[in-house]
Amino acid sequence: MSLFSFLGTLEIGLIYGLVAIGVYLTFRILDFPDLTVDGSFTLGAAVTATLIVMGVNVFLATVAGTIAAACAGLVTAWLNLRFDILHLLASILTMTALYTINLRVMGKPNVALIMEPTILTPFEGIFGLPDMYMRVIFVAVCALIGGLLVAWFLKTQYGLAMRAVGSNKRMAQANGIVVKQKVYAGLALSNGLVGLAGALFAQTNGFADSTMGIGTIVVGLAAVIIGQSLFASRSMYVIVLSCIVGSVLYRLAVSMALNADFLGFSASDLNLITAVLVALALIFPKLRNEWKAKQAARKEA
Partner 1 sequence: MISCKELHVTFNRGLPTEKLALRGIDLTIPQGEFVTVIGSNGAGKSTLLNTIAGDINSTKGQILFGERDVTKVPATGRTADIARVFQDPLAGTCGDLTVEENMALAYGRGKRGRLSPALNTKTREIFREQLARLNLGIEDRLESQMGLLSGGQRQSVSLLMSALQPSTILLLDEHTAALDPKTAALIMDITSQIIAEKQLTVMMVTHSMRQALDHGSRTIMLHEGKIIFDLAGEQRANYEVKDLLNLFAQARTDGEELDDDKLLLGA
Q: Is 233 in the site for partner 1 (CB under 8 A)?
A: no
Q: Is 174 in the site for partner 1 (CB under 8 A)?
A: yes
Q: Is 289 in the site for partner 1 (CB under 8 A)?
A: no
Choosing from 63, 67, 160, 280, the residue that interacts with partner 1 (CB under 8 A) is: 160
Q: Is 161 in the site for partner 1 (CB under 8 A)?
A: yes
Choosing from 78, 99, 123, 153, the residue that interacts with partner 1 (CB under 8 A) is: 153
Q: Which stretch binds partner 1 (CB under 8 A): 44-52, 100-108, 165-173, 288-296?
A: 165-173
Q: Is 172 in the site for partner 1 (CB under 8 A)?
A: yes
* Cβ closest to partner 1, residue 31 vs residue 269: 31
Q: Is 148 in the site for partner 1 (CB under 8 A)?
A: no
Q: Is 156 in the site for partner 1 (CB under 8 A)?
A: yes
Choosing from 30, 164, 224, 253, the residue that interacts with partner 1 (CB under 8 A) is: 164
Q: How far is CA 49 from CA 98, 100, 208, in A?
A: 16, 16, 6
| Number of residues located near partner 1, criterion CB under 8 A | 23
User: DSSP per residue over 15-54, as a string?
Assistant: HHHHHHHHHIIIIIIS-----THHHHHHHHHHHHHHHHHT
Q: How far is CA 67 from CA 48, 118, 278, in A?
A: 10, 18, 30
Least separation in angstroms between residue 70's CB and partner 1 is: 17
Q: Could you count the other beta carbons within 10 Å of the beta carbon of residue 211?
A: 11
* Cβ closest to partner 1, residue 89 vs residue 178: 178
Choosing from 39, 146, 159, 192, the residue that interacts with partner 1 (CB under 8 A) is: 159
Q: Is 237 in the site for partner 1 (CB under 8 A)?
A: no
* Cβ closest to partner 1, residue 183 vs residue 254: 183
Q: How far is CA 297 from CA 285, 290, 292, 293, 294, in A?
A: 18, 11, 9, 6, 5
Residues 6+ apart with CB under 8 A from 212: 41, 42, 45, 198, 201, 202
Give the sign of the dihedral formed by CA 98, CA 104, CA 110, CA 113: negative
Q: Are 246 and 230 in contact (CB under 8 A)?
A: yes
Least separation in angstroms between residue 160's CB and partner 1 is: 4
Q: Are 14 and 247 in contact (CB under 8 A)?
A: yes
d(CA 104, CA 88): 25
Q: Between the CA atoms of 98, 99, 103 and 109, what dihedral angle is there, to the nearest 10 degrees?
A: 150
Q: Is 171 in the site for partner 1 (CB under 8 A)?
A: yes
Q: Which of 238, 225, 146 is nearest to 189 (CA)?
A: 146
Least separation in angstroms between residue 159's CB and partner 1 is: 7
Q: Which stretch binds partner 1 (CB under 8 A): 15-23, 72-80, 153-161, 290-298?
A: 153-161
Q: Is 155 in the site for partner 1 (CB under 8 A)?
A: yes
Residues 6+ apart with CB under 8 A from 211: 42, 109
Q: Is 189 in the site for partner 1 (CB under 8 A)?
A: no
Residues that bind partner 1 (CB under 8 A): 153, 155-161, 163-164, 166-168, 170-178, 234
